[in-house]
Amino acid sequence: MSEQQSLAIGGQAVIEGVLMRNKEQIAIAVRNEKGKIILKKETIASITKKYPFLGWPFLRGVVAFFQMMIIGIKALMYSTNIAIGEKEEHLSGWEIAGLIGVSLLFSLGIFVLAPYIMTHFLGFDERTAPVTFNIIDGIIKMFLFVMYVAIIGNMEDIRRVFQYHGAEHKAVNCYEAGKELTVKNVKLFSTIHPRCGTSFIMFVMIVGIFILAAIAPLTSAIVPTFEGLPFFVQKIVLFLLRIVFLLPIASVSYEVLKLAGTYRTNKVLQVVNSPGMLIQKLTTKEPDEKMIEVAIRSLKAVV
């Protein structure tokens, strides 16, 4: 197996199942209420084939993020219907856009707006001390994220999703190690994987500390009259710029994550990736053999 083939494999846990993706091939394996594994496989159209420039470094991360959000929402709806034995429902484009919009607004409110406001009320000013402000802001973001994951992880249904997440990682780790995909082999591997989306979220938070620290100084330098604006207007502008800067932050984070997955033995990248790897101890749980069977079925379908 080549390194490129290895890096092409990705996935996510769904309700009572696992989604696996290998380039343009997607497979969703779900165990239904009768205990039978239902497999669905399909080919997705790659937008980077139609518009090759979207596959360039620092652009592909944003494209991949939104594409996986769409795929993930469809997969969750499908898996829920299969798991409870209901007829499959298909979401319209507007319904998917609405769900993505609500998800993004929730995430921005909890993990961007709340830390920003809290840092301000703690007495830090991004205009006079941008680095300190963003370090505190970043620490609060990570704390809120860890608390959020820890709380939902205690819910029975979410815990099972986290177990399937662990099964997904174990199966991919086994495949990338060149071992035969059997339950016995997969059980030996870790539930932690360097290219996990959890690591991506942590990268975004860490990289954001450094990039966002430049917003206030650059704004004042480019727009000399900015400091003469009312305080409330300044804060609104600076906050909106933080949201705009999320795209380049996500792009940089995606590239670093790919490097961490490629050069797993690199000490510098191991240190950079360590916060995300630690958080995976919360977002993944040890799966049972039946969950591993589902993950294997899904992975075999795309390789």
pLDDT in tens, 181-211: 999 999 999 999 988 888 888 888 888 898 8
Segment (H or E) for 17: strand 17-22
Q: What is the pLDDT of residue 130?
A: 92
User: What does the pLDDT average to over 130-143?
Assistant: 94
Beta bridge partners of 13: 18
Terminal Cα distance for the chain, rounded: 11
| pLDDT grade for 286, boundaries at 50, 70 and 90 | very high
Calpha distance 277→42 (Å, rounded): 30
| pLDDT grade for 148, boundaries at 50, 70 and 90 | very high
Q: What is the pLDDT of residue 233?
A: 93
| pLDDT grade for 299, boundaries at 50, 70 and 90 | very high
Calpha distance 100→82 (Å, rounded): 22
Give, in order, the Cα–Cα distances in Å from 123 to each of 136, 137, 213: 11, 12, 16
| pLDDT grade for 280, boundaries at 50, 70 and 90 | very high
> By percentage, how much of the chain surpasses pLDDT 70?
96
What's the mean pLDDT when you consider all of the chain?
Answer: 88
Alpha carbon 123 to its chain's center: 31
pLDDT exceeds 80 at position 167? yes
Segment (H or E) for 227: none
pLDDT exceeds 80 at position 263? no
Q: What is the pLDDT of residue 3?
A: 47
Q: What is the pLDDT of residue 2?
A: 46
pLDDT in tens, 70-84: 888 888 888 988 888
